[in-house]
């Protein structure tokens, strides 16, 4: 129950703390966070991707910073809960497609600090809408089977888009309109776009836009995603807001399994829903002119608990010091600060409600590891809860577990990761108790 007490204390402290942040300095930056869906690290040209054209994302990386070691949870809902609250899933994750109604998010944090807040596109977090979680305005799509002709819920009103309307365009328009209307005050736009999630529909720019639901359109979807990102960035530029906007782009988990993408280091096969690199390694680019030097490349570790403290740092908002936030600010190190880099990342696979769509023995990892639910890692070494240990530099596909004759470096890394892993609860025991 200790973790539950911490979470409740956090909610109360954040609510009180928000009252002290209502007086907002005019020079606080706008914040735009765009998160693509099922979009692995290898899909971005700036990361060495060769299969798809991503000129806008590449330009943002060139104008700011590109992280080479950002890791998400392997499935969308766990990542989204973690991203929005700054807490690892064992603290507050309840079930797939749900964010518990008592949670405080970065929407609350920035709204309480005086920001106008906006949520656009993919929700999939339960019956409570984004306005319950700190967003002044929102437009989301009701679950459907196509990116065309979506059912849209905008600030409580439901409408059906015509079948010839492409959903990502609607939500990009919504985000850009919000920015335009709030250009004279600090704003926060969280845009978790549904691209490139299945179905693999043709886009308006496809050779045959009438063609639907074929994997051949995956590349078209990436390029249209890049176009949407570019439209938001262009809106900021036209309104002369770029210099005072922190712009962040990332992905929620790895690419869909089976999608093969060429990179300058070989072929990457998508691994969504697994704890492997292909299931968790995602792009992260950050642009903030006059704060983040152009062309910055960072090998620092980043996970999705780190976004709440990072946004708080950018907005000059204090977080409750008595609450054990799991993340740490990654902004200071790319803006010239001396913050200590993260030394490990903890990953788990939907510990309370495992993905029953996956066959036994294939959940969570490569077949080499077997069914596992959590692990810790750094840039090179990785340790699962069952003791399986990998050198990812030599074996990125996790095909050969290291068991005997460890080098002194490997032994030290394994001991460090084992000590780190021991801090976390036994998720299997917790799962049994929750039933």
The tens digit of pLDDT for each residue in 181-219 reads: 999 999 999 999 999 999 999 999 998 776 667 889 999
Residue 351 lies in a domain: no
- For the chain, counts of helices (H) and of strands (E): 11, 16
* CB atoms closer than 10 angstroms to residue 157: 8
Against a cut of 0.75, is the pTM above it?
yes
Q: 126: helix, coil or strand?
A: coil
Mean pLDDT of the chain: 89
Is 32 a member of any domain?
yes
Same domain flag for 282 and 403? no
In this structure, the answer to whether residues 377 and 320 fall within a common structural domain is no
Average pLDDT over residues 375-403: 95
Rounded distance, CA 195 to CA 231, Å?
A: 15
**The pLDDT of residue 65:** 98
Do 339 and 412 lie in a common domain? no
Q: Quick one: pLDDT band at residue 6, thresholds 50, 70, 90?
A: very low
Beta bridge mates, 148: 166
Residue 48: how many other CB atoms lie within 10 Å = 15
For residue 364, pLDDT over 60 is answered with no
Q: Quick one: 231 and 275 in the same domain?
A: yes
- 190 and 95 in a common domain: yes
Query: At a CB cut-off of 8 Å and minimum separation 6, what does 149 contact?
Result: 160, 161, 162, 163, 164, 165, 167
Residues 98 and 14 in one domain: yes
Is there a domain that residue 131 lies in? yes
* pLDDT tops 60 at residue 366: no
**Mean pLDDT to the nearest integer, 269-297:** 96
Its domain, for residue 377, covers 358-434
Greater confidence (191 vs 363) lies with: 191
| pLDDT tens figures, 124-146 | 999 999 999 999 999 999 888 89
Q: How far apart are the first and last CA of the chain?
A: 16
Asked whether residue 421 carries a pLDDT value surpassing 60, the answer given is yes
**Stretch 393-406: mean pLDDT, rounded?**
93
Residue 425 banded pLDDT, cuts 50, 70, 90:
confident
226 and 271 in a common domain: yes
Last residue of a domain, one of 286, 309, 343: 343
What average pLDDT does the segment 369-375 reach? 70
Residues 271 and 414 in one domain: no
Report helix, strand or coil for 152.
strand
The predicted pLDDT at position 338 comes to: 80
CATH code for the domain in which residue 7 is found: 3.40.720.10
Residue 349 lies in a domain: no
**Mean of the pLDDT values across residues 334-352?**
86
Kind of pairing between the strands at 266-269 and 260-263: antiparallel
- For 148, which DSSP code? B
In the chain, pLDDT over 90 holds for what percent of residues?
A: 77
What pLDDT is attached to residue 426? 77
Total domains in the fold of the chain = 2
H or E element: which one contains 325? none
Q: State how far the Cα of 297 lies from the Cα of 71, in Å rounded to an integer.
A: 16
Strands 151-154, 137-141: pairing is antiparallel
Backbone angles phi, psi at 200, to 5 degrees: -85, 70
**Domain-located, residue 278:** yes
Q: Which of 313, 343, 373 is the last residue of a domain?
A: 343
Q: At how many degrees (to 10) do helices 76-85 and 307-315 cross?
A: 30
Question: Do 364 and 311 share a structural domain?
Answer: no
Report d(CA 223, CA 195) in Å as an integer: 10
Q: Quick one: pLDDT at residue 51? A: 98
Torsion of CA 336, 338, 344, 346, to 10 degrees: -70
Q: Assess whether 293 and 369 both reside in one domain.
A: no
Looking at residue 351, its pLDDT comes to: 53
Same-domain pairing of 22 and 81: yes
Count of other CB atoms within 10 angstroms of residue 285: 26
Instruction: Decide if 127 is inside a domain.
Output: yes
- Say whether both 139 and 113 belong to one domain: yes
Flag whether 176 is in a domain: yes
**pLDDT attached to residue 432:** 44
Residues in the chain: 435
Query: pLDDT tens across 75-103, in order?
Result: 999 999 999 999 999 899 998 999 999 99
Domain ends where: 291, 316, 343? 343
Predicted local distance difference test score (pLDDT) of residue 145: 85
Contacts of 340 (CB under 8 A, 6+ apart): none
β-sheet with 151-154: strand ranges across: 157-160, 151-154, 137-141, 116-121, 187-191, 30-36, 245-251, 281-287, 65-71, 296-303
Residue 348 lies in a domain: no
Whole-angstrom CA distances from 125 to 71, 147, 196, 394 are 21, 19, 18, 38
> Three-class SS of residue 139?
strand
Given a contact cutoff of 8 angstroms between Cβ atoms, the answer to whether 105 and 138 are in contact is no
């Amino acid at each position: 129950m200790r973790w539950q007490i911490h979470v409740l204390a956090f909610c109360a402290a954040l609510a009180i703390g928000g009252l002290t942040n209502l007086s907002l300095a005019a020079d606080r930056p706008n914040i735009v966070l765009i998160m693509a869906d099922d979009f692995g690290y290898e899909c971005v040209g700036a990361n060495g991707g060769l299969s798809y054209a991503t000129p806008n994302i590449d330009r943002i990386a060139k104008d700011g910073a590109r992280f080479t070691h950002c890791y998400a949870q392997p499935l969308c809902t766990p990542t989204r809960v973690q991203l929005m609250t700054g807490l690892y899933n064992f603290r507050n994750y309840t079930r797939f497609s749900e964010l518990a109604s008592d949670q405080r998010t970065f929407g609350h944090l920035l709204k309480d600090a005086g920001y106008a807040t906006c949520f656009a596109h993919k929700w999939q977090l339960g019956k409570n809408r984004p306005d319950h979680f700190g967003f002044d305005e929102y437009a989301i799509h009701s679950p459907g089977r196509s990116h065309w002709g979506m059912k849209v819920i905008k600030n409580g009103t439901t409408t059906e888009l015509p079948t010839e309307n492409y959903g990502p365009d609607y939500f990009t328009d919504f985000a850009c309109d919000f920015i335009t209307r709030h250009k004279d005050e600090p704003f926060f736009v969280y845009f978790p776009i549904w691209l490139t999630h299945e179905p693999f529909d043709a886009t308006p720019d496809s050779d045959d836009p009438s063609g639907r639901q074929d994997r051949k359109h995956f590349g078209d979807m990436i390029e249209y995603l890049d176009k949407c990102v570019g439209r938001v960035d262009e809106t900021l530029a036209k309104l002369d807001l770029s210099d005072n906007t922190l712009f962040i782009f990332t992905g929620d988990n790895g690419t869909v399994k089976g999608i093969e993408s060429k990179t300058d280091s070989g072929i990457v096969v998508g691994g969504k829903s697994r704890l492997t690199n292909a299931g968790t390694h995602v792009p992260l680019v950050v642009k903030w002119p006059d704060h983040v030097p152009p062309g910055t490349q960072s090998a620092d570790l980043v996970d999705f608990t780190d976004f709440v403290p990072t946004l708080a740092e950018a907005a000059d908002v204090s977080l409750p010091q008595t609450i054990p936030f799991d993340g740490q600010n990654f902004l200071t190190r790319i803006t010239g600060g001396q913050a200590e880099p993260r030394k490990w990342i903890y990953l788990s696979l939907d510990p309370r409600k495992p993905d029953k769509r996956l066959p036994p023995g294939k959940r969570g990892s490569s077949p080499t590891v077997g069914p596992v639910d959590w692990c810790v890692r750094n840039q090179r070494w990785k340790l699962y809860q069952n003791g399986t240990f990998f050198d990812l530099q030599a074996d990125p596909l996790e095909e050969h577990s290291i068991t005997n004759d460890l080098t002194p470096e490997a032994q030290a890394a394994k001991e460090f990761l084992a000590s780190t892993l021991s801090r976390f609860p036994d998720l299997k025991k917790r799962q049994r108790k929750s039933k």
